Amino acid sequence: MLAIRFHGRGGQGAKTASRIVGTAAFLEGFAAQDSPIYGAERRGAPVAAFTRIARAPIRDRGIIVHPDVVIVADVSLISDPAARVLQGVDEKAVVFINSSLSPEELATQASLSGHVTSLDLTEAALQHVGKRGAISALLGAVAGRLVGLRHESIHHAIARELAELGLAPSVIEQNQTAARQCYETVPVVALEPITRRAAASETLRTPVYEPPTRGTAGITVGANSAIRSVGGWRTFRPVLRPDLCNGCWLCFANCPEGAITIKPDGRPAIYYPHCKGCLDCVEVCPTDALTVEREAAATSKT
């Protein structure tokens, strides 16, 4: 497996770049996984995104702690402690930096470990796209080149991902042209996949499951639904068939109204004055223990 970590500033396109590489890898028949991480951030704040590529199904989840390749969209991020650009980067990792400086200059200036390579993507974007900031296609192209993906796959992935963002075909074409230039000119560093040299020392951990009572919302404050009946909203109502219930509590955990409680015997009970009839509980029930009855028919029985 190859693990690529992207660092950028909000608006530069790190997230889209991770998607472009993931899509390109997928088009080449690899298993791929891409995901971003950012909070309630604003434009310009450090963001990161992650792409994993493998021949086999990818079971790792979450952030990439030991990257094979790090793609840095903005050189100023390296000295930003909040961005943690160099976290987990060792001497075998490849670090790409969007910069007009040479790899040697960057390695010296920033005391970087790993193999450093660079290219001025911002200049390429200005030449071909004429818009400052978003260099997602170029980041994706460089990352794809460094991990050995074909240009055709990158080309198609750019079209697909940028179209999803609503970009005009002419703008997508400009991005593809700039991306091709970057793909062909980025200095390539031989990649030594480090994946799982870290994994060898890591042990699998068994997750600890908490009962849903720990994490399920309950409305207890006055003037909320605790005192407001929503039972009159129903057109259909869920009805429990206790003989089919396996006590999994999925209905309890998914009810948005807190209308389901768990009885001492571990089985659910529906409190109809707080049940609005959304039938989410019916949807999630794995054993069909919750059936649906039309409200008029149900009330005539009760």
Residue choice 287, 294, 297, 299 for contact with ligand SF4 (CB under 6 A): 287
CA distance to 113, 117, 208, 220, 273, per residue, from 88 (Å): 10, 18, 27, 45, 54
Stretch that binds ligand SF4, among 75-83, 130-138, 161-169, 279-287 (CB under 6 A): 279-287
292 binds ligand SF4 (CB under 6 A): no
Q: Around Cβ 164, how many Cβ atoms within 10 Å?
A: 11
**Do strands 260-262 and 115-119 pair parallel, antiparallel, or not at all (unpaired)?**
unpaired
Sheet holding 94-98, edge to edge: 31-37, 46-54, 2-9, 69-72, 94-98, 115-119
Record the tokens describing residue 119, joined without a space: 């290219």
| Identity of the residue, 4 or 259, whose beta carbon is nearer to ligand SF4 in the bound complex | 259
47 binds ligand SF4 (CB under 6 A): no
Asked if residues 21 and 3 have their Cβ atoms less than 8 Å apart, the reply is no
Q: CB of residue 230 vs ligand SF4: minimum separation in angstroms?
A: 8
94 binds ligand SF4 (CB under 6 A): no
Q: CB of residue 97 vs ligand SF4: minimum separation in angstroms?
A: 51
SS3 of residue 214 by DSSP: helix
Q: x-or-dash pattern for ligand SF4, window 256-275, by CB under 6 A?
A: -x-xx-------x-x----x
The count of chain residues that interact with ligand SF4, using the rule CB under 6 A, is 27
Asked if residues 5 and 15 have their Cβ atoms less than 8 Å apart, the reply is no
**Residue type for position 234:** R
Residue choice 285, 291, 295, 300 for contact with ligand SF4 (CB under 6 A): 285
Longest dimension (CA), the chain: 82
Residue choice 28, 280, 293, 295 for contact with ligand SF4 (CB under 6 A): 280
C-alpha 233/C-alpha 224 separation (Å) is 16
Q: x-or-dash pattern for ligand SF4, window 220-259, by CB under 6 A?
A: ------------------x-x----xxxxxxx---x-x-x
Binding region for ligand SF4 (CB under 6 A): 238, 240, 245-251, 255, 257, 259-260, 268, 270, 275-281, 284-285, 287, 289-290
